[in-house]
Amino acid sequence: MQRLADRGLRLTQQRRCIVAQIGAQEAHFDAEDLVSSLAAGDDRVSRATVYRLLPVLVEVGVLREVMRFGSRREFEPVEASEHHEHLVCERCGAVIEFRDQALEDAIESAARKRGFEMHRHSVEMVGLCPRCARAQARAEEDRS
Amino acid sequence: MQRLADRGLRLTQQRRCIVAQIGAQEAHFDAEDLVSSLAAGDDRVSRATVYRLLPVLVEVGVLREVMRFGSRREFEPVEASEHHEHLVCERCGAVIEFRDQALEDAIESAARKRGFEMHRHSVEMVGLCPRCARAQARAEEDRS
DNA sequence: TCCTAGCTGAGACTGTGTCTCAAATCTAGC
DNA sequence: GCTAGATTTGAGACACAGTCTCAGCTAGGA
């Protein structure tokens, strides 16, 4: 909230509602999640307002835009967690968050090596989570 | 083309046109690029057909789906080049392709360490390309 | 040649996100 | 506390990428 004020942005009722709702949200969420959970509550905030505020919160450093699964833009609170990467299971849709210092280092070094001033990055790994990999292996065994 | 036949898929005129057009395409392209370049030529292939074939070509191993810039799904031919990552410049929009073995290794090891069976991955690095980073630095110098 | 599963085209439809503009509201200055 | 005016809002139209439907067509095996 304070960060909005610092930037000369107004602290409207709607913005308070949105920020409060973000606090109540799961780790990842997208604009439509917010719109519907605000609608479910007593807060009346229009879709346009939510869509307008999200990029502002990213710029102000409250949110971080994470990968896009499908076509929706996903967000997560910056302070809630350290930066992390995501494993996406093709079979069950699970999203596994993880942090890997060696990977971070490799990314930063790759950028530096090429004179690139990196502001953010994301790694998307798609495949089978441990559970589905096992299930798949069993299914193939049975077939043979 | 052969790969389609191997899978029991038909080699229709439209599919030949699409595959030929992909060959004539720049490194990256998306469905709309293809649709419009097909329309510009003498080939008449509908949008639906193009959108239908692209995921098939990915599955068959002819194309690879790369990162999504904005909201469009981008593709690139698999054989044209080795797997590579992308640096995206926020300022000029340039996309720099690069390959970094250390980074690949770090990604694979991160997946393996977590029992994840990785099928594909992509790294998106956003920031300033060397040229824009220099321009930015100069601009800030001038201002002070 | 014939048959039919698979493919196509046209356009309606869906979902996500943006834009517009009149009306409402926040905040600085008095 | 009041006022002015700059910002923000809401509702809905719009834009765009991508999907779906279904009647008609066709590749390719028998």
Comparing C-alpha atoms, which of B91, B114, B110, B93 is closest to residue B102? B110
B91 interfacial to chain A (CB closer than 8 Å): no
Rounded to whole angstroms, the Cα distance separating A63 from A54 reads 8
Q: Which of A40-54, A88-102, A126-140 has the highest mean pLDDT?
A: A40-54
Quote the pLDDT of residue B143: 60
Label the pairing between strands A95-98 and A85-89.
Answer: antiparallel
Cα A57 from Cα A132, distance rounded (Å): 36
Distance B14 CA to C9 C1' (A): 11
Instruction: State mean pLDDT over A18-34.
Output: 88
User: In this complex, do B106 and A109 lie within 8 Å of one another by their Cβ atoms?
Assistant: no
Q: Could you give the percent of chain A with pLDDT greater than 70?
A: 93
Instruction: Give the nearest nucleotide to B46, CA to C1'.
Output: C9
Topology of B1-81 in CATH? Arc Repressor Mutant, subunit A (1.10.10)
Distance CA A126, CA A128 (A): 7
Please, are residues A79 and A86 in contact by the beta-carbon 8 Å criterion? no
Tell me the C-alpha to C-alpha distance, in Å, between residue A101 and each of A64, A66, B18, B98.
19, 18, 43, 21
What is chain B's mean pLDDT, rounded? Answer: 85
B103 in contact with chain A, both atoms CB, cutoff 8 A: yes
> Residue A11 CA to nucleotide C29 C1', Å?
19
- Say if the Cβ atoms of B106 and A120 lie within 8 Å: no
CA distance B49 to B56: 11
pLDDT at B81 over 70: no
The residues, ordered by sequence, that sit 6+ positions from A113 with a Cβ below 8 Å of its Cβ are B100
Q: Evaluate whether B126 touches A118 at the Cβ level (below 8 Å).
A: yes
CB under 8 Å to B120, separation ≥6 — which residues?
Answer: A125, A126, A127, B64, B65
B51 pLDDT above the threshold of 70 = yes
Q: What is the pLDDT of residue A60?
A: 87
SS3 at position B140:
helix
Q: Which chain B residues are Cβ-neighbours of A130 within 8 angstroms?
A: 114-116
pLDDT at res. B35? 93
CATH superfamily of the A83-144 domain: Ferric-uptake regulator, C-terminal dimerisarion domain (3.30.1490.190)
Does B48 contact strand D, using a CB cutoff of 7 Å?
A: yes
Say if residues B117 and A128 touch (Cβ distance below 8 Å).
yes
CB contacts, 8 Å: A92 with chain B: none
Residue scoring higher pLDDT (B100 or A139) = B100
Q: Which residue of A has its CA nearest to B120?
A: A126
Looking at the complex, report in whole angstroms how far the Cα of residue B144 sits from the nearest Cα belonging to chain A.
Answer: 21
Topology given in CATH for the domain delimited by B82-144: Dna Ligase; domain 1 (3.30.1490)
A85-93 average pLDDT score = 79
3-state helix, strand, coil in chain A (%, to 5): 45, 25, 30
Domain limits, chain A: 1-81, 83-144
- The predicted pLDDT at position B2 comes to 76
The answer on pLDDT for A143 being more than 60 is no
Which range among A116-125, B7-16, B23-32, B61-70 shows the weakest confidence by mean pLDDT?
A: B61-70
Q: Cβ of residue A88 near strand C, that is under 7 Å?
A: no
- Measured from the Cβ of residue B121, the count of other Cβ atoms closer than 10 Å reads 20
pLDDT in tens, B90-139: 777 777 888 899 999 999 999 999 999 998 888 888 888 898 889 888 87
Which position has the token pair 């080699």? B11
Question: What pLDDT is attached to residue B18?
Answer: 94
Per-residue confidence (pLDDT) for residue A144, from 0 to 100: 60
Give the pLDDT band of residue B49 (cuts 50, 70, 90): very high
Are β-strands B117-128 and B85-89 bridged in parallel, bridged antiparallel, or unpaired? parallel
Which element (helix H / strand E) includes B31? helix B31-40
Mean pLDDT of chain A: 85
User: Do A63 and A54 contact (CB within 8 A), yes or no?
Assistant: yes
Residue nearest to nucleotide D20 (CA to C1'): B48
